[in-house]
Structure 1
Amino acid sequence: MTTRKDIAERNDRALLQAARDVLAEDGAHASVAAIASRAGVGIGSLYRRYKTKEELFQRLSLLSLDHWNEAAERGLADSDPWAGLAAFVHSCVEFGQGTLAPIAGAIEVTPEMSAKARRGDDLLDALVRRGRTAGVLRGDVTPVDISLLIEQLGRSPLVDQLRKQGRDDLLPAAAAARRRLLAIALDGLRPGPDPLPGPPPGEELFSGRWSSR
């Protein structure tokens, strides 16, 4: 028997997924109406769950941070430093971590968000240090490099375009192509004879954007 609680939870999952999808397509200009329409619920239902669009995006951010941290913890628990790091990157890319980048600086960062983000930074630092020490990760790759790589690959313009066009027949091929690109990118993290060009990116390029100016 389906209860009101079950319906509410189902609607909440639909809203959160719709918000992620609309953000990927429309960026920070994603509208509440578009999110509600994508989720198949009324705007009233959305506002009963989230008082503001900012509150909805903050909830999305917390879920994204939780996924990042859980993926990093699983990576560190793997006895193989390279397998653990690669699995972490795979998990974050498949989750679509980069879809929230457009709202950086547009919402208030709550204390809970800050605490989870610091935890995520520490976990990624540990993954990178372990990979370097084991000699499976090139020495000039930094945690910010990994974060930006995940952000770049976490969004797929091709997949977004095909979804907008309703080309479900091409989505499996697009997903397969995305996996190939991820494999190519991961291979580039392996130690090689040539150094990476230029200085390493600064923290401001990743986390600094979330501070309102």
Structure 2
Amino acid sequence: MTTRKDIAERNDRALLQAARDVLAEDGAHASVAAIASRAGVGIGSLYRRYKTKEELFQRLSVLSLDHWNEAAERGLADPDPWAGLAAFVRSCVEFGQGSLSPIAGAVEVTREMSAKARHGDELLDELVRRAREAGVLRGDVTAVDISLLIEQLGRSPLVDQLRKQGRDDLLPAAAEARRRLVAIAIDGLRPGSRPLPGSPPGGELFTDRWSSPRQP
């Protein structure tokens, strides 16, 4: 029997996917109406559940953080440090992790969001530590490097363009090409390559983006 909770969770998943797609097209100015329409959810029922656009985006941020943490925990459960790290990166890329970044600074970071983000940082730090100690991750790659890599690979301009054009005939080939590029990028995390240029990026590249005028 389908319960109200089941329906709400299903709608939230649809809204999250729709928000990622609409934000990729429209950025932070994406309208709630466009997201609801893409998700197949009535705007009235959406506003009965979420009073404001900010509340909706906060909820979607929590769902995205949950996916990150669950993927990291699965990676840590793998006894093979490299397999665990690589699976984490692939899972987050396929999910489209980081695609909510256009709303950074536009919504207030709740305590729940902050706590889940800190836990996610701890999990990724542990994945990186394990991989380094096993000698399977290049020593100059940091957790922030991996986070930024996931964000960059989380969207495919080629796939997005073909979807907008309605070129369903080319989508399978584009998806396969994307998987190849992701594999190339992940392989670049292994030792043996030339040193990376510049200094390691700092965590402020994430935290400062999410600070709004209300949060100096």
When the two structures are superposed, what TM-score results if normalisation uses the length of structure 1? Answer: 0.93
CA contact (8 A) 1:12 1:49 kept: no
User: Could you tell which deviates more after superposition, 57-66 or 3-12?
Assistant: 3-12
Q: Distance in 1 between matches of 2:73 and 2:4?
A: 35
Letter in 2 for 1:144: V
1:192 corresponds to: 192
User: Could you tell which deviates more after superposition, 29-38 or 182-191?
Assistant: 29-38
Q: Distance in 2 between matches of 1:172 and 1:193?
A: 31
Q: Secondary structure at the match of 2:208?
A: helix
Q: For residues 169-184 of structure 1, what are the structure 2 equivalents within 5 Å? A: 169-184=169-184
Q: Distance in 1 between matches of 2:12 and 2:65?
A: 18
1:23 corresponds to: 23
Q: Distance in 2 between matches of 1:194 and 1:2?
A: 55
Q: Distance in 1 between matches of 2:110 and 2:138?
A: 35
When the two structures are superposed, what TM-score results if normalisation uses the length of structure 2? Answer: 0.92
1:128 corresponds to: 128
Unaligned runs of 5+ in 1: none
Deviation >3 Å, runs of 4+: 1-13
Cα deviations across residues 106-128 of structure 1 (Å, max 9, x unaligned)?
10000000000000000000011
CA RMSD of aligned residues (A): 1.7
Letter in 2 for 1:170: L
1:206 corresponds to: 206
User: Could you tell which deviates more after superposition, 160-169 or 61-70?
Assistant: 160-169
Quote the sequence identity (%).
89
Bigger helix fraction: 1
CA contact (8 A) 2:104 2:209 kept: yes
Q: Distance in 2 between matches of 1:128 and 1:59?
A: 28
Q: Distance in 2 between matches of 1:209 and 1:160?
A: 24
Aligned length: 213
Change (3 A) 1:32 1:192: same
Per the TM alignment, residue 202 of structure 1 is displaced from its structure 2 partner at its CA by 1.0
